Structure 1
């Protein structure tokens, strides 16, 4: 890893290539994981209710099954599965049925590439850089799934929480105590808002996945990163959400996924939280 740090001309292109490959895999996670979960939930419900089992073939898995066109089921050849380049070569359409291929594929791949390069630029090519890449990939997957389905699966939020706590054992980013306290306060802060809102209105203002995502972020940014994450996500969510509602002609009762805003804010605070807090204290005259 020190070799890559000393030779950025090799390290950054390698990181960019890795980011494209990870982005391709994250597209699979974003599209297939919710379908797999829904299929499993249906099977579990039938078992709990004692209903007869209905033949329902499982949707494609995340790792084993090859990629295919969702319209005509055409299995993609290797050259049709190259990140970004294949989408451009095929002009955004399936080679078999000519159905349009979602722009999500190249966008997620390019976004992942850019953020992975940013990870190694900020933290280097060692364990800190690797951990930052892991966090980034989890947040991209969670944001993408929440945007599409308004779900934040435990299968992603809970491992992200544990990985943050495990990283704190060796103080990779922060010591264990601030990480643990950050996770606890992260969960309780949004849970308390949800509980108060429910007592007053009788409605649930947010999903439980938001609590778990902020708890996971708290394990990575610590207690001092919780408040900036909440404030930044709320600000971005209010602005972007209002614009989206106006553009779609929806009223304020329309549910809006909060996970993507938490993911963006948590990523920014993880990278530059110390600088943000220091700049605020200097600007306010408290330092």
Structure 2
């Protein structure tokens, strides 16, 4: 790690390559995890309700099954799976059936690469930089899943929270106490808003996954980062959500996933929360 810190000309290309590879894997998680969870829920429900088993083959797994075209089901060869490059060489189309490949693939790969570069630029190539990459990867996967399905799976939010607390146990970014309080206050703050809204309107204004995601972010940004995360996510959500509704011609009653806004805000606060708080205090007191 010290060698990479002393030789950034080697370290940054390695981080960029790792980001592309991880981004390719995150695409698999975003696309395959929700169907796998739904399939498992149906199996569990039939077992609890004591219904007879039905033939229901599982969707492709996340690790074992090879990538394939979602249209013609043709298994992709290794040279068709090179992040970004394969998409560009194939002009965004399947080599077999010619169907258009979703732009999500190169976008997630490039986004992961860029954010991983920010991680090592901000924290270096040691454990802090690695932890920042882990945090970033989880947020990208959760944002992609929420955008597609409006669901934030416990199988991602809860490990992200525990990883933040484990990092705090070694004082990687902060001591344990601020991380624990951040997780607790993060969950309770959004839960309280949800509970009050439900009491007043009889409707649920957000999903429970949002509480858990903010708890997970709180374990990484600490207690002081919770309020900035909520404020930044609300601002980003108001701006981006309004633009999206206008572009789609939808009204304000249309459900909008809040997880990506929390993820964007949490990522910003994780890297620059101290600077944001200092700037706010200077502006507020000035």
Q: TM-score, normalised by structure 1?
A: 0.99
- Equivalent residue runs for 1:122-133 within 5 Å: 122-133=122-133
Deviation, 1:117, is 0.6
- Work out the CA distance in 1 between the residues paired with 2:57 and 2:95: 26
Name the counterpart of 2:159. Answer: 159
Question: 1:1-287 alignment to 2 at 5 Å?
Answer: 1-285=1-285
Q: Distance in 2 between matches of 1:24 and 1:247?
A: 29
How far apart, CA to CA, are the structure 2 residues paired with 1:282 and 1:237?
A: 25
C-alpha distance in structure 2 between counterparts of 1:95 and 1:197, whole Å: 51
Gaps of 5+ in 1: none
- What SS is found at the alignment partner of 2:261? helix
User: In 2, Cα distance between the equivalents of 1:259 and 1:119?
Assistant: 21
**Greater displacement, 244-253 / 58-67:** 244-253
Task: Give the deviation of 1:253 after TM superposition.
Answer: 1.1
Alpha-carbon distance in 1 for matches of 2:128, 2:151: 29
1: CA distance between counterparts of 2:125 and 2:51?
Answer: 53
Partner Cα separation in structure 2 for residue 115 and residue 220 of structure 1 = 17
Q: Post-superposition shift, 1:250?
A: 1.0
Matches of 1:248 and 1:115 in 2, distance apart?
Answer: 29
Provide the C-alpha distance between the structure 1 equivalents of 2:253 and 2:45, rounded to a whole number of angstroms. Answer: 30
Q: How far does the alpha carbon of each residue in 1:87-142 deviate from its partner, in whole angstroms, 9 at most, with x for none? A: 01111001111010000000000000000010000000000000000000000000
1-side partners of 2:57 and 2:284: how far apart?
Answer: 60
Encode CA deviations 1:4-37: one digit per residue, 9 max, x unaligned.
0000000000000000000000000000000100
Q: Distance in 2 between matches of 1:115 and 1:103?
A: 18
Runs of at least 4 residues of structure 1 off by over 2 A?
none
Provide the rounded CA distance (Å) in 2 between the counterparts of 1:200 and 1:251: 21
Give how far 1:242 is off: 1.1
Q: Secondary structure of 2:94's match?
A: coil
For the residue of structure 2 that corresponds to 1:274, the secondary structure is helix
Distance 1:156 1:75 in 2: 27
How far apart, in 2, do the equivalents of 1:175 and 1:12 lie? 29
- CA distance in 2: counterparts of 1:22 and 1:257, whole angstroms: 24
CA distance in 1, matches of 2:25, 2:212: 23
Aligned residues: 286
